[in-house]
Structure 1
Amino acid sequence: MAFNSLWEEYMQIPVITRVYTTASLLTTLAVHLDIVSPSQLHFNPYLIIRHLQIWRILTTFLFFGKLGFQFIFNIIFTYRYCRMLEESSFYGQTADFFFMFVFGGSIMIIIAIFANFPFLGQGFTMMVTYIWSRKNSYYRMNIFGLLHIQAIFLPWILLLFSFLLGNSILVDLMGIGIGHLYYYLEDVFPNQAEGYQILRTPYFM
């Protein structure tokens, strides 16, 4: 009975959020159990092109580090803000939400080719969080029971936490930058006097 309840709760998670967070959890579990190693998952253009290890284009977004505080921190924020976006701003627009994933992920891959970023999951989390914060900029929120802020400041608070944890903030800044680009092209530019819709979800999606 308890399993059925859990399964029902799980299936109520919007589909894109459910697939992405589940894949991330399973990838981390596979590394923890030594089924695969991080070296088999990271983004490497040479191995992708010369050895056709195409899966690396996806797995670079799925591994947030070994089980620990940093992983928990990232997966919670990924789940929370993916779900909130998919259930609010993208409600009934699953294809548009998926296109946002593809748009942001594609730009990150291009940047990673030149910047040598092996894992992009943290940057992806920042992108999603930034987009949510701009679409809900006046929402009042509480951070860890310590800070009361408007949502628009959330990405910068997370950037500070990432720095304090000793992480490189370059990937985080990339995520914020791509998130801002998407928000501008999707929500700002089309509403200007001479603006128009630049981003259009492909019909096949």
Structure 2
Amino acid sequence: MPVGIEAWITQIPPITRGWLALSVLMSLAVQSQLVTPLQLYFSFRSAFLNGQPWRMATTFFYFGSISLDFIFHLFFFMRYSRMLEESSFANKRADYFWLLLQSAILLLCVSPLFNLPFLSSSLAFVPIYMWSRRHPSTPISLFGIITISAPYLPAALVAFSWILNGTWEAAAGDLVGCAVGHIGWFIRDVWTREMVGGTTIFSEAPVRLKRLFGDTV
């Protein structure tokens, strides 16, 4: 039986575990000087005109060099992505991947408007925001100092990121992630359920994607 760190890793749901692993490996690769951040950031010119499409993926896995800010974003993303995948998306891996994929595409589209070359923290705030809206009565203890209700969690984390980095520009990506997370939540929990009365292509993964992930169709 797996023990220690191996047991902890295997208990993390697959989508969150894969995202976490790629993010850590990406930062270690930069730290080891195998690649540079200049090879990972996203821009339309580099990705489409210069023939470097991998930037559309690497921008979502680089949380910066290993630092306090790196640990902060990685910890909260892993915690709430895991909780969301284990609750709302239990046995629905394709649907969770579909949420993240749609959010990533939207972030790629709006990134030039906010000058965001790296979108990892923005995407990380999508599951945080989604979880907070789906568990509105859950109390959250922040660092053992204050207790807030779940809907205030994204705002509190954005404020902490602002304080940690000393400038509001550093929290801009987190704010954009909250906005995209709100769109994802609205489509699934308000528009689809209350206005459409059923699932849509935006709220549920396509059948082929479900088969790819081995979900029941």
Q: TM-score, normalised by structure 2?
A: 0.88
Q: How far 1:85 moved relative to its partner?
A: 0.6
Structure 1 equivalent of residue 67 of structure 2:
68
Q: How far 1:197 moved relative to its partner?
A: 3.1
Deviation readout 1:57-96 (Å, 9 max, x if unpaired): 1110111111110000011011101110111110000000
Alignment of 1:1-205 (within 5 A): 5-165=4-164, 166-167=166-167, 168=169, 169-192=171-194, 195-198=197-200, 199=202, 200-205=204-209
Cα pair distance change 1:139/1:35, threshold 3 Å: same
Runs of 5+ unmatched residues, structure 1? none
Letter in 1 for 2:57: L
Q: Distance in 1 between matches of 2:35 and 2:195?
A: 52
Output the aligned Cα RMSD.
1.7
Q: Distance in 1 between matches of 2:6 and 2:195?
A: 48
Give secondary structure in 2 for the equivalent of 1:149: strand
Q: Distance in 2 between matches of 1:177 and 1:15?
A: 25
Give the percent of matched residue pairs that are identical in Structure 1 and Structure 2.
34
Q: More deviation in 71-80 or 51-60? A: 51-60
Cα pair distance change 1:114/1:156, threshold 3 Å: closer
Q: More deviation in 194-203 or 97-106? A: 194-203
Give secondary structure in 2 for the equivalent of 1:142: strand
Letter in 2 for 1:129: I
Cα pair distance change 1:149/1:36, threshold 3 Å: same
Q: How far 1:47 moved relative to its partner?
A: 1.6
Q: Distance in 1 between matches of 2:183 and 2:58?
A: 24
Q: How far 1:141 moved relative to its partner?
A: 1.4
Letter in 2 for 1:181: I
Q: Distance in 2 between matches of 1:33 and 1:153?
A: 37
Give secondary structure in 2 for the equivalent of 1:36: coil
Q: TM-score, normalised by structure 1?
A: 0.93
State the number of aligned residues.
Answer: 204
Q: Distance in 2 between matches of 1:181 and 1:69?
A: 29
